[in-house]
Amino acid sequence: MMEALALLRLYGEWGADTALDDSPTDWLSRPAPSALPPAGTHDAAQVSTPPRPASRPQPPAATPTMPEPRRPPRPAAAGAPAGAEDGLPLIDRAVQQATEAAAAATTLAELHAAMAGFDACGLRDTATHTVAAVGEAPGRLLLIGEPPDAAEDRGGTPFAGPMGELLDRMLASIGLARADMLLAPVIPWRPPGERPPSAAELRICTPFLHRLIVLAAPRKVIAMGNTPARLLTGETTGIARLRGRWRDITLPGQAAPIALLPMRHPSQLGASPTARRDAWKDLLLLRTTLDSGSDTD
């Protein structure tokens, strides 16, 4: 019963005052209902406003605090490498650090230690070994190859694995051996997945290569592959156009120019008969130049 009364009361609040009418009603002619229902329409319990609870005392407003003063930057430790305060981009700063580390080395062993301790190139962190030069130094020949591959990275020596065996056969065909030269990669660390090194990575590693050539003081340099040939000659064409002739290169810290011969890398010989023919021609040119004692041919 109480639920039915509550439902009727709800209908009245919504404006339903007639349950059923035999004739139509013109609602537009009726006066507009007042905003508040007339007194006595609803129960006193519904009309009356419940007492408001006593307001709780509000806590006093917090006093605004002053911001903590900014601490001055700590001074850099003596001998520490230059940080962001020098205004150099990261790549330029890494190149500067590599140049300073390479210039401080006076022997090939010191250069190897400097490369192993150099932390401004991300390639060092992903490589297994720092691949340094091996062989007789100073010698009359310095052979520079492509970045280390998986076999070279595992063993820590340049021209290891199948490519090294193929190089040995190439050298033996003109009466040379590894003992007659110094061998080194163009950069000391293997790029992940043997991808080509980026331009930034080459810039960072170039001071170590230049210092290697200065310390080794070779009479001739053989650049095997696109990467060392382009890096040392400054040209952007491929090895197919760079090979076939000697040229003089000048390096920082080197007074006299050095004769350089670009050649195909052993890994390229399987590409085509033309690549193998080019390699054989360059080997004959190298043998002829060594026999004549001249710097160019």
pLDDT in tens, 91-118: 999 999 999 999 999 999 999 999 999 9
Average pLDDT over residues 244-268: 91
Kindly indicate the confidence band of residue 235, based on its pLDDT and cuts at 50, 70 and 90.
very high
Tell which residue, 119, 145, 123, 130, has the closest CA to residue 192.
Answer: 123
pLDDT reported for residue 88: 78
| Cα separation, 77 vs 48, whole angstroms | 79
Q: Look at residue 174 and tell me whether its pLDDT is greater than 90.
A: yes
**Quick one: how many helices (H) and strands (E) in the chain?**
11, 6
Q: Helices 199-216 and 90-104, interaxial angle, to 10°?
A: 10
Domains and CATH numbers, the chain: 90-294 (3.40.470.10)
Please report the pLDDT score of residue 82 as a whole number: 44
pLDDT at 5 over 50: yes
Q: What is the pLDDT of residue 203?
A: 97
Rg (CA), the chain: 43
pTM of the model: 0.69
* pLDDT digits 0-9 by tens, 14-32: 767 666 666 676 767 766 6
The token pair that represents 74 in the structure block = 């700590």
Q: Which of 88, 70, 53, 92 is nearest to 200 (CA)?
A: 92
Q: Give phi and psi for 115, each to the nearest 5.
A: -70, -40
Over residues 201-226, the pLDDT tens digits come to: 999 999 999 999 999 999 999 999 99
pLDDT at 293: 73
